[in-house]
A and B are shown apart, each in its own frame.
Chain A
């Protein structure tokens, strides 16, 4: 087995036989012609034929991939009709008495060099376009049709391996016979990468010197997410990737089927299906997986990735970005949960014997309100840009909630004084992750707008098992009836007081518990973005 690391530019897994495409630039012969005028005519006829081919390719692309992708081939036609390009070729033929193939090739090299020299990776990638259209003209002159990829191959579907692939070569490949692409060169901006994504085929570029034409006919596994290529995979790798491929395809199928569908059981019980995120860039995955909101936006990244306390403005921009991208969908932002396993140097926290039972989260916020207020101001200011809710972690008593709400009220008053807009009715909820909060759930529910159960910490504190201790596996069972009964108690208390209750811990995505959660009557489940659709599937089948 040979393992090659490339750059994955289009996700998916393909397993199959490799077909090496010969797309290398072949040397173009230079000949002296007796009748330059006749040679110019020969070039013009070939150019017209190439433009006609591009017109056909344009229509084929428009039909298969849409108008947007087809416009590239309009641009390709314009390139062949560009007066500078045409003049350069015709001048070469007339003055140097060279054959048309040579004149086209030299001109292509010259124009490609101009793009390659530009200080913009997108434009640099356009050098390939110039060569691509010129190759088409040369092929017509030489009596060949189209690009290398066009030659007929009646056989099985293959993984295409090539030095480089021009966009026209990519679209001309028979989709039914291509499993994926691997190229030695190429860039993530290349049209081949873009088209591969549109075609839903895995693609890997930039394998460089690992490109070997002798791999033709060998079996390969390619993973367009990791960029890995395995030639002649061993049994274990093959089995592993067959499993991954099946899982990925199942995920895609779910995506197609379940996007836009309501999260509702057969008997009509509705559950709000949200996603957990750790930073603003995760929103793309939230939207791609069709989550109905964000049930947990961990604000820690703002603190963990800074050298000093993050400013109000810096936090505001992050919250605003997420709120805007999510539109009217709810975004629950958890206030800082520093301490325990998440340590930050500039907080200057003392070393503790039991950090999980120590100075963390809301305990820091209530003793150092100056830090807490900066975050609350940023959250309130961002609240006018979307549908933000504030969630307080590590609550154990009613006093903590009241104290936090008092600080929030002070911040609101400050903002009113400064005439800064915010959502006056912003929802405030708490994490249910300590046994104390479950025992006091009725009193707490009277104070807040929602509960969200953090199952990881709730398991740790309920079962007295340190999350970080790997030796406690069999004792730290989140399926323990003690934990499930805690979840049930919190949910029932929430409902007695007319507020909603969800789960934002990892347990929410555990499909073996979905039936139990539905029976308990949880209103919301917030899971990692990739778990959203499998969970929607499970709920719809309940």
Chain B
């Protein structure tokens, strides 16, 4: 099983250094693997260079896939986090 949701970035600067850092720190709170996909590329949300390297801009939609023991909790909280910070 896994959890999947889509999210549209509203931060004017996209997934830039500061929010990307917050995102990675948040992803690391969970045991589940969290994969962010955009434009045919998938990266580990726990890796800052991967997340920044996606080049996600304002208005872009990313797909987030959460898989692991705490996936329900992780997916719900991570989605909430994205809405509040990006």
Contacts and interface: CB of A to CB of B under 8 A. Distances in A.
A123 B50 CA distance: 13
Contacts of B25: 74, 78
A57 to B, nearest CB: 14
B49 A82 contact: yes
Contact of A75 (B48, B53, B55, B57): B48
Interface string A232-266: 00000000000000000000000000000000000
Nearest to B15: A123
B21 A71 contact: yes
Interface in A274-309: none
A383 to B, nearest CB: 29
B76 interface: no
B21 A74 contact: yes
A119 B21 contact: no
Given A120-B14, A122-B16, A123-B16, A78 B55 contact: no
Given A84-B50, A122-B13, A78 B18 contact: no
B22 A123 contact: no
Interface residues of A, number: 20
A433 B21 CA distance: 58
A78 B48 contact: yes
Contacts of A74: 21-22, 25
B55 A120 contact: yes
B17 A118 contact: no
Contacts, number: 53
Contact of A122 (B14, B24, B48, B53): B14
A85 B49 contact: yes
A114 B22 contact: no
A181 interface: no
A15 B50 CA distance: 44
Contacts of A129: 17
A188 to B, nearest CB: 13
Given A78-B48, A82-B47, A123 B20 contact: no
B14 A82 contact: no
A111 B50 CA distance: 10
Nearest to A77: B21
A115 B14 contact: no
Contacts of B16: 122-123, 126
A190 B13 CA distance: 13
Question: Which of A75, A85, A122 is the most central at the interface, judged by chain B CB atoms within 10 Å of its CB?
Answer: A75
B52 interface: yes
A71 B17 CA distance: 9
A79 interface: yes
A143 interface: no
Interface in A82-106: 82-85
Contact of B47 (A72, A83, A119, A120): A83
Contacts of B47: 82-84
Contacts of A71: 18, 21-22
Interface in B1-52: 13-14, 16-18, 20-22, 24-25, 44, 46-50, 52
Given A74-B21, A84-B47, A123-B52, 6 more contacts: A72-B17, A72-B18, A72-B21, A75-B21, A83-B44, A122-B14
Interface of A: 71-72, 74-75, 78-79, 82-85, 111, 114-115, 118-120, 122-123, 126, 129
10 contacts: A72-B17, A74-B25, A75-B17, A78-B25, A79-B48, A85-B49, A120-B55, A122-B16, A123-B55, A129-B17
Instruction: List the 6 shortest-distance A-B pairs measured between CB atoms, nearest first.
Output: A75-B21, A78-B48, A82-B48, A75-B17, A82-B49, A71-B18
